[in-house]
Amino acid sequence: MPATVIAVFGSSLCQPASPEYQAAYQLGAEIARAGWTLCNGGYGGIMEASAKGAVESGGHTIGVTCAVFGRPGPNAFIRQEIPTFDLHTRLDILMRLASGYVVLPGGSGTLVELALAVELIAKGLLDRSAPVVLLGRHWQPVVDVLRAEQPGHLPVVTASEVADVIEALRRGLSASGTRYRVGSR
């Protein structure tokens, strides 16, 4: 049976002393303890912190890197790199690999990842029960706009603590069946 993969999205700019970095580290550790594989963009900040937490807790990590960024390679805590040449392919792979998505504070790149996961789930192109969990209140204005646009079910859960993220993932994954349906083989 293939491993359950959880994608973690967030800023590449946060530093090790920041609360976001520490939360991402703890999140990665808990993802590993749950027996899940952690997947992210493979670079610094929240990506590094979550991968470090996962690896130091005995977990496996996947980094989906992108040549257009011109970075030298993944961070030291990525155990499996999937290199891509363009952003669209990178995003597609991140969506296809994961059965659940966790979004931490970030900028426009993280916003794209959040919006894509929500849109694919809302349109039925990802499993409608795939969990999208936001850690903290950073994205609340975006969620408010999305809820106004889609007054029905918005596939997003906000959690204030890492333990709540893990619980939301467990609930969503237990209800989840398939992952990405369009174009999957």
For the stretch 65-99, pLDDT in tens is 999 988 888 999 999 999 999 999 999 999 999 99
Domains of the chain in sequence order: 5-152 (3.40.50.450)
CA distance 128 to 172: 10
Q: Is the pLDDT of residue 180 over 80?
A: no
Q: Residue 93 — φ and ψ, nearest 5°? A: -65, -45
Global pTM reads 0.92
Evaluate the CA torsion angle 139, 145, 149, 153 in order and state its sign: positive
Q: Is the pLDDT of residue 120 over 80?
A: yes
Confidence band, pLDDT 50/70/90 cuts, at residue 175: confident
Q: Is the pLDDT of residue 185 over 50?
A: no
Q: Is the pLDDT of residue 179 over 60?
A: no
